[in-house]
Amino acid sequence: LALGGAANVAQNVVALGARARLVAAVGRDAAAGQLRTALDHLGASTAGLVEVDRPTTTKTRVVARAQQLLRFDEESDANLDDAEALRIKNAVALAVDGAHALVLEDYEKGVLTIDVIDFAIRHATERGIPVVVDPKTRNYYAYAGATVFKPNRRELQVARGTAKDFDADATLLAEAADMNVGALLLTLGEHGMALAERGAGVVHRIPTTAREVYDVVGAGDTVTAYLAAMLAAGATAFEAAVVANFAAGVEVGKSGAATVSAAEVRAAYDQHVAG
């Protein structure tokens, strides 16, 4: 059993020494019970789990010699109905009231409806806490007001068109302005990251720190968790991105969706400085 999706972000947050409250829709099934038990074991709050009339999203992987052969998914990706969405918004409000950062982890499972997204960002903004978004393409344009918007290159190309030159600083700054977000953090796999800070009008190129790549599964969740934790602690977007980049470099050297501790990130930084 391994936690995935937004739950993997939550366990990464806990692994680096912060606290997490997961808001999510779960079914009335055994998988929901397993999720609660796993989160309890981590020390992450389960108060934001909302039971709805759909199965808990479950992915079963068939692996041989460290290679995935098949995957079976049990899920529903239809939007929550109005009553269910209201319960999610109530859970978001309670979570945000006790938080120092908000992460919106969009897996296109129908939980982050446009109404829920708008409510969550407005509530966080009113409380003055940063918002980190890991988007997909369905509601790509719904995240105006986010502090850091973190697509990967493929998501950006699908949403905005492949004809644009996303290697150009001017294009990335224009994207941040068009999306009305504080910063656009474009993750580029083995090429690291590019952070376009809208207010400063600058683009930072952050090269990868990975010394070896074993498995990229879960690296994006690690980046998201470290971004949020660093911003919650008062870091700038650039400082948060640099630390998150080191965390990703550690994560890809592990098998599967693994967590990365603060001690591992410090060790990776020391090794990088030492050459």
Question: How confident is the prediction for the chain on average, in pLDDT?
Answer: 93
Structure tokens at 42: 């981590």
> pLDDT at residue 211 above 90?
no
> pLDDT at residue 21 above 90?
yes
Pairwise CA distance, residues 220 & 67, whole Å: 20
- Which pLDDT does position 218 carry in this prediction? 75
Q: Which one from 97, 134, 221, 270 is the annotated catalytic residue?
A: 221
Structural element, H or E, at residue 38 = helix 30-42
Structure tokens at 267: 């060790």
> pLDDT at residue 213 above 80?
no
Tell me whether residue 221 is one of the annotated catalytic residues.
yes
pLDDT in tens, 242-256: 999 999 999 988 877
Interhelix angle 82-97/114-127, rounded to 10 degrees, is 20
Pairwise CA distance, residues 32 & 27, whole Å: 6
| 203-215: average pLDDT | 85
Structure tokens at 29: 């099934």
Pairwise CA distance, residues 79 & 158, whole Å: 21
Under 8 Å between Cβ of 242 and 207:
no
Measured in whole angstroms, the distance separating CA 204 from the mean position of its chain's CA atoms is 20
Interhelix angle 262-274/237-251, rounded to 10 degrees, is 90
